[in-house]
Chains A and B, each alone.
Chain A
Amino acid sequence: MTEAILQVEGLRKTFGESVAVADVSFSLRPGGALAVVGESGSGKTTVARMIVGLERPTSGRITACGHDRSELPRSARERRRRGGEVQIVFQDPYSSLDPRQSPAAAIDEVLRLHTPLDQAKRRRRVAELAELVGLDERQLAALPARLSGGQRQRVAIARALAAEPRILILDESVAPLDVSIQAQVLNVLADVRERTGIAYLFISHDLAVVRQVADDVVVMRHGSIVERGPAAQVLDEPRHPYTRLLRASVPGPGWRPARRTISKETR
């Protein structure tokens, strides 16, 4: 086994009395793709927010690229370094972009923060990133209000990639997109992974998407991991009843809502 690029050990987060994340451990290898699945409220988004530093863990350890990030950054430099290690794309494409800033300016701002490139080189890099995610000149210069949800999400991905992170977290990032746009974005992500060797952490409730993109899967419920393993195995031969419930909830040919009987079984 190669050294993990992202290691999460015994992660726990409580908000007052309620336990959002109970005890979560997993690791992600360089260039890997791990999916964290579970229903709303299972704590998967809180895990993602702790990894990028938007929430502080109550206890546990997070290590990315060999650096501990369980504590707040001590300096501006460390904060920037962390930004260059892990990036995140949020679920809601509508509020992910500053409404007063064009995509080109947003990406340029990240490049100024993370690279020593001069203006001309930054402009070339912005164009490269735009091409990578499939944005044209007009879209780059437009204000977010003039872009569709899918276009905004691609801007958010380009902006995250501009920092050249080793790990990209996608927190339900394709969930709000319609199916054809979703496929486009997933293709872009697969392409980027092939070209740059970036590792992905998918936070998702959509098993169809997970099957398409992830190598490994961990299944979360009520803040804990209930099942883990290679994606194909977990999705095709789920061992835990909750995973079977999640799988049975995916509509397909001949699908019938079977929630009530199965959820009784899982209790």
Chain B
Amino acid sequence: MTTTLATYRTPRLGPLGTAAATVIVAAVVLAAIGPALTSADPNASDFAHAYGAPEPGHALGYDGQGRDLLARLLTGARTSLLGPLWVVALSMAVGTVVAIAAAWLGGWLDSVVSAVLEVMFAFPGVLLAMLVAAVFGPGLTSAVLALAVAYVPYIARLVRSAALAERRKPYVQALEVQGAGAVAICVRHLVPNLMPLITAQATLFFGYAMVDLAIVSFFGLGVQPPDADWGVMVASGQSGVLQGYPAESLLAGGSIVLLVVAFNVLGERLSDGRRAPRPGWFPRRGGVS
């Protein structure tokens, strides 16, 4: 009973959670209006300014190819935020549907789904993404799809166990006794009541997806240069780091770290202690509590 109440109270974010939410909102706003903030073209290189210091109109200076860093950072924010958004949206949608179908129908379907999920746990997301990029050619789309597939088992296992518990609650059983259809019960009652859990999980996974996509892009298998992306920028800034111009890598890397921490903190605050393990490089054991 108390857990029921706890699940549906509005989560208290606290000062840290509020700060995290502010960071995220600010990043989204900057990504949305970003290009309007600077007149510089993110892809125009001017080798005369390579590694150039900040100057009026170019607040963060230039990268090794003489491109405006602020413009690249702001444009890169778009791909760096949209990529994880797609990963999270796809994996949450597929994971939730699969989990609820398995939990509701039970029997052999549940056994098959659980077995398939176990096998999928064995594939580390980043390695799967790199494999897909190697086979189908590099690019953001294949990286997003591969990561989405790799994340599905994590969300599916968590939602399945929550859906099983929810299904046993009298309010769901009362609807069954009323003769309401399974789809109607799931869509109108089960999923809405699992939304707090799914939202919290999506927030956490957004941060993970951001890191993973940056890793894939860093290795040159995700977003392709010259398109701006924070992962790409960390990679292309490497030579600058060696020559004493760390600005590009630091700015892009710092943005990633800041946002990933923000998503983690916020997801943690929303999750009420129930969370799936981090989809990692290596298969993890350990279940969802």
State the A residues within 8 Å of B (CB). 52-54, 73, 76, 79-84, 86-88, 90-92, 94-101, 109-110, 113-114, 145, 156, 159-160, 163
Q: Is the CB of A113 within 8 A of B179?
A: yes
CB of B8 within 8 A of chain A?
yes
Contacts of A81 in B (CB 8 A): 179
Separation in Å of the B133 CB from the closest CB of chain A?
A: 42
B177-196 vs A, CB cutoff 8 Å, 1 = contact: the mask equals: 11111000000110011000
Pairwise interchain contact B180-A94, C-beta atoms closer than 8 A: no
Q: Are B177 and A92 in contact (CB under 8 A)?
A: no
Q: List 6 A-B contacts (CB under 8 A).
A: A52-B177, A80-B179, A82-B179, A83-B178, A91-B170, A98-B171
B8 surroundings in chain A (CB, below 8 A): 99-100, 145
CB-CB under 8 A for A96 and B177, given A145-B5, A145-B8: no
Counting chain A CB atoms within 10 Å of each CB, the highest count among B1, B180, B181, B189 belongs to B180
Who on chain A is nearest to B3 by CB?
Answer: A95
Please tell me if the beta carbons of B176 and A54 are within 8 angstroms of each other in the complex. yes
In this complex, the member of B5, B7, B171, B192 whose beta carbon has the largest number of chain A beta carbons within 10 angstroms is: B171
Q: How long is the Cα–Cα vector from A11 to B193 in the complex, in angstroms?
A: 35
CB distance from B16 to the nearest CB of A (A): 27
Q: Which residues of B are in contact with A by a Cβ distance under 8 Å?
A: 1, 4-5, 7-8, 169-171, 173-174, 176-181, 188-189, 192-193
Nearest CB of chain B from residue A109's CB, rounded to whole Å: 8
- Cβ-defined contact, B192 with A100, below 8 A: yes
The interface centre, meaning the residue of B170, B173, B181, B193 with most chain A CB atoms within 10 A of its CB, is: B170
Q: Which residues of B contact A159 (CB under 8 A)?
A: 174
Q: A95-B4, A100-B8, A100-B192 are in contact. Are A76 and B177 (CB under 8 A)?
A: no
A82 CA / B180 CA spacing, docked (Å): 11
Q: Give Cα A84–Cα B179 distance, bound, in whole angstroms.
A: 8
The 10 A-B pairs of least Cβ separation, nearest first, read A83-B179, A80-B179, A90-B170, A79-B179, A96-B170, A94-B1, A83-B178, A95-B169, A52-B177, A98-B171
Minimal Cβ-Cβ distance residue in B for A94: B1
List the A side residues contacting B177 at CB < 8 Å.
Answer: 52-54, 83, 86-88
**Which of A81, A95, A163 counts the most B-chain CB atoms under 10 A from its CB?**
A95
A97 touches B179 (CB 8 A): no
Chain B residues with CB under 8 Å of A82's CB are 179
